[in-house]
Structure 1
Amino acid sequence: MRRLLGAVLAVLLTSACAVQGAASPVTPSTSAAARPGGAIELPSRPREVRLDRVDPCSLLTEEQRAELGLDGRPVFSEAPVGLYGGADVPLCTIGGFEPRAVTAGLSLVTSMGIERYTSGELAAELRPITVRGFPALVAVPTRFTDYCTVVVDVAPGQLLDVQFASGGRRPPIPQPQLCQDAQSVAAEVMATLLNG
């Protein structure tokens, strides 16, 4: 799975890819603006949430995983990721098998911030949102439709990277649904981080 997620990140790189209020933890961002060259400017984060020495597999409780349809055992790994300058990135991979086959990957990036995505260099459609009040982006790949990514700006030079992918069953899960699921996972992870 680490190879799959690494490949997904590499594709984004080479092919040039909230909650305010109680009703919804993820909201569209109305204050994000495009800069010259297509780059995106995001609003300020409400505070810093550092990810140093956090275990990504500790960020979703068993109850949260069940609600998100992730019934597999969380698996921790750590490996260099080219998208993030080759730095080692802790990753928790969690599968879901019933009622559908899916995989969620939670990466805690401490070597590079969300500016990696706002530079305009990645092959993805970027949609600004907020997750639990923090600036975030939905990164929808332009060349593949079997996954979606949400990145959350948690601190200077740090970000939460949530990928949600189809498990390969037919019919395939529509990409808009994968993006919604990635946003739901990001919201639950941020809730845990903020309450920790």
Structure 2
Amino acid sequence: MRRLVVPFVLVAVLSACTSTDQGSPTTGNPAPTTETSTGSPAGNRPKAVDLKALDPCSLYTDEVKTALGVRLVTPRDPQADYGEGSKTCSNNYENPAYSSSIYTLLNGGVDRLKKTVGEAKLTAVRVTGYPAYIDKRETGAGPACDVYVDANDGQLLLVNAVGGFGEDKTTVDGACEQATKLAMAVGPVLMTR
């Protein structure tokens, strides 16, 4: 019974953090709200978090793991491309169709993101009050989706999902659904750091 209650409580909490209008909470699906296809989401961050001091594995609380069916959380070697001091944490789900990772990007914020990924490829959204950007893509490993959360000036929290690990039915939209769920689940935890 406890396993059923925790996901419903988490969904209720996350739903309160999603808004379609600045400052007005909504209930229902905890998906991020799209505000523009290429511009910046309106408003500021609920809290600036220095990602240099953040261990991304600490964002996987017991509640997050239970709600999303996270089976295993593993620290990984940092990505050199993401700046000195960046950190990586990966996870596997009970359903093995997708896997996810959380990265701290310390070598540039939204302006750099728009230049490197391409502003036209990004969809601006809000994730638990934070300005964020979604990038859908196909990779050699399978369909993928990146959610870049604007956590601090010059720093981004990257939450991604990749599918295709022996699963023919994985899609880019499925990867985005998985990445978005994880971003929405760890967003409230990020605000406590």
Q: TM-score, normalised by structure 2?
A: 0.75
Deviations 1:57-113 (A, max 9, x none): 1101123123213212x111343432x3x53420001112x3333211001122221
Q: Which residue of 1 aligns with 2:131?
A: 135
Q: Does 1:115 align with 2:115?
A: no
CA distance in 1, matches of 2:120, 2:62: 32
Q: Which residue of 1 aligns with 2:49?
A: 49
Change (3 A) 1:181 1:123: same
Count of aligned pairs between the two proteins: 169
The code of the aligned residue for 1:28 comes to: T
Matches within 5 A, 1:54-65: 54-65=54-65
Q: Does 1:164 align with 2:161?
A: yes
Change (3 A) 1:192 1:148: same
The code of the aligned residue for 1:147 comes to: A
RMSD: 2.5
Deviations 1:118-148 (A, max 9, x none): 2365498321110011111111125665211
Q: Does 1:194 align with 2:191?
A: yes
Q: Which residue of 2 aligns with 1:126?
A: 122
Q: Does 1:27 align with 2:24?
A: no
Gaps of 5+ in 2: 1-16, 20-24
**Structure with the higher fraction of residues in helix conformation:** 2
Q: Which residue of 2 aligns with 1:149?
A: 146
Change (3 A) 1:121 1:62: closer
CA distance in 2, matches of 1:56, 1:156: 18
The code of the aligned residue for 1:164 comes to: A
Q: Does 1:106 align with 2:99?
A: no
Q: Which residue of 1 aligns with 2:74?
A: 75
Question: 1:171 Cα deviation (Å)?
Answer: 2.4
CA distance in 2, matches of 1:51, 1:75: 18
Contact 1:106 1:163 in 2 (8 A): yes
What is the SS of the residue equivalent to 1:188? helix
The code of the aligned residue for 1:141 comes to: R
What is the SS of the residue equivalent to 2:170? coil
Deviates more, 1:166-175 or 1:148-157: 166-175
Question: 1:189 Cα deviation (Å)?
Answer: 1.2
Q: Which residue of 2 aligns with 1:183?
A: 180
CA distance in 1, matches of 2:51, 2:58: 12
Q: Which residue of 2 aligns with 1:89?
A: 86
Question: 1:117 Cα deviation (Å)?
Answer: 2.1
Gaps of 5+ in 1: 1-17, 35-39
Q: TM-score, normalised by structure 1?
A: 0.74
Q: Which residue of 1 aligns with 2:7?
A: none
Contact 1:105 1:164 in 2 (8 A): yes
Identity of matched residues, %: 24
